[in-house]
């Protein structure tokens, strides 16, 4: 099959929590289903030990028992530029990456399957219809891009990507469009703009104790430019969901169990409590929230930009596709994964939303994909 692109119909109006600023049509959960959810014990996804997933020399994840002498194929081979300073996030390299194998997933939310809407939650119609998608193998950052890594990009002058760089390999036309250059700022100006939400932005003008937090207040264009500069690209929506669902229709990255504070950072407003900057935690802090392929924070902490354009109508057409990307012109880009302020329904692997690609928000961050 050949790579396929998907158009972007006009979005419909609606309402949802102020966090998203997008239309949101909800449906209630599918109670009474006999379907059994995928569990953390699924083949290939036992979450034991600090890694939260399978680890081995050659998976390009620099685990705590590996270093550049014992496993040179894993350590020091991720970001070409942002990782030259040997940045660490606890026991992990801030730049660790892990492979996502090629495979087929059922993208979107099913009505009665393992990933059906739980009866106590509300889910969006834009997650339907579930359909088969094939994804080629790729590397994906295990962690969200940190303040420390993004600082290296500014120190390099916040360079503009070359035309057509950062493309999804099966679709070369998805690379950087020079007309997007107007959306990129000089490094000094960008440093000021990253302070987009007083009390909630993680960026500081000088290095601080926030270096291992996920960078937020970054636009889609800046996320794209960073990933290109760092030798990668933004993941497509299909790639992101492949990592989050494990290709096994997992309800959450870790399995079917409901979110808990030791798996994800979310819902900081529960009980009427006011959120604070400390609700955004160092990346990779919660190993029990690891996905099947050992990626962390795919649910909660900050939302993550993906490449594709977003449509409120859901997947249209909901047909089987190979290496498919929604890259026809639209108004909003895909955001995935939920944030520190979202309720648990937004942490589901199938949950999706959209944002203006020029938007800055304390809820928004990203991670990079890399070609395998």
pLDDT one-digit tens code per residue, 148-187: 999 999 999 999 999 999 999 999 999 999 999 999 999 9
CB 314 within 8 A of CB 127: yes
What residues does each domain of the chain span?
Answer: 1-372
Q: Is the pLDDT of residue 71 over 70?
A: no
Q: How far apart are CA 65 and CA 224, in angstroms?
A: 32
Q: How far apart are CA 34 and CA 113, in angstroms?
A: 9
Cα-flanking dihedrals φ and ψ of residue 325, to 5°? -140, 135
Q: How confident is the model at residue 72 (pLDDT cuts 50, 70, 90)?
A: very low
Question: What's the pLDDT score for residue 80?
Answer: 53
Match domain 1-372 to its CATH number in 3.40.1550.10, 3.30.420.340, 3.40.50.2300, 3.90.1580.10: 3.90.1580.10
Question: What's the pLDDT score for residue 313?
Answer: 77
Write the CB contacts of 193 (distance below 8 Å, at least 6 apart in sequence).
185, 217, 360
Report how far apart the first and last C-alpha atoms of the chain are (Å, whole number).
20
Of the candidate ranges 34-48, 119-133, 192-206, 241-255, the one whose mean pLDDT is the lowest: 34-48
Question: What's the pLDDT score for residue 284?
Answer: 93
Query: What's the mean pLDDT when you consider all of the chain?
Result: 80
- Bridge partners, 305 (sequence order): 335
Of the candidate ranges 11-20, 256-265, 361-370, the one whose mean pLDDT is the lowest: 11-20
Q: Is the pLDDT of residue 2 over 90?
A: no
Q: Is the pLDDT of residue 326 over 80?
A: yes
Q: Whole-model pTM?
A: 0.78
Residue 191 CB coordination number (10 Å):
17
């Amino acid at each position: 099959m050949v790579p396929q692109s998907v158009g972007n119909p006009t979005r419909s109006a609606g309402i949802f929590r102020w966090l998203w600023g997008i239309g949101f049509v909800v449906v209630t959960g599918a109670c009474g289903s006999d379907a059994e959810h995928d569990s953390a014990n699924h083949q290939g996804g036992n979450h034991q030990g600090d890694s939260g997933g399978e680890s081995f020399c050659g998976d390009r994840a620099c685990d705590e028992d590996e270093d550049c002498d014992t496993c040179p194929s894993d350590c020091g081979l991720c970001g070409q530029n942002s990782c030259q300073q040997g940045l660490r996030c606890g026991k992990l390299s801030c730049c660790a990456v892990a492979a996502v194998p090629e495979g087929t997933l059922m993208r979107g939310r099913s009505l009665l399957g393992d990933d059906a809407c739980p009866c106590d939650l509300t889910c969006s119609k834009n997650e339907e219809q579930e359909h088969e998608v094939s994804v080629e193998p790729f590397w994906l950052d295990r962690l969200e891009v940190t303040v420390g890594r993004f600082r290296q990009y500014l120190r390099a002058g916040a360079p503009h990507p070359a035309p057509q760089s950062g493309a999804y390999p099966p679709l070369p036309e998805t690379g950087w469009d020079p007309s997007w250059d107007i959306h990129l700022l000089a490094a000094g100006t960008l440093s000021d703009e990253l302070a987009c939400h007083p009390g909630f932005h993680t960026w500081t003008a000088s290095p601080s104790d926030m270096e291992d937090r996920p960078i937020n207040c970054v636009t889609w264009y800046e996320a794209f430019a960073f990933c290109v500069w760092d030798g990668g690209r933004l993941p497509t929506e299909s790639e992101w969901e492949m990592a989050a669902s494990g290709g096994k229709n997992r309800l959450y990255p870790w399995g079917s169990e409901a979110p808990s504070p030791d798996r994800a950072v979310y819902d900081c407003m529960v009980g009427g409590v006011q959120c604070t900057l400390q609700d955004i935690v160092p990346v990779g802090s919660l190993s029990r929230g690891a996905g099947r392929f050992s990626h962390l924070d795919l649910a909660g902490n900050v939302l993550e930009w993906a490449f594709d354009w977003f449509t409120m109508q859901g997947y249209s057409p909901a047909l089987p596709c190979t290496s498919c990307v929604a890259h026809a012109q639209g108004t909003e880009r895909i955001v995935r994964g939920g944030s520190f302020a979202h309720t648990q329904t937004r942490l589901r692997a199938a949950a999706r939303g959209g944002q203006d690609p020029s938007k800055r928000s304390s809820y928004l961050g990203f991670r990079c994909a890399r070609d395998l």
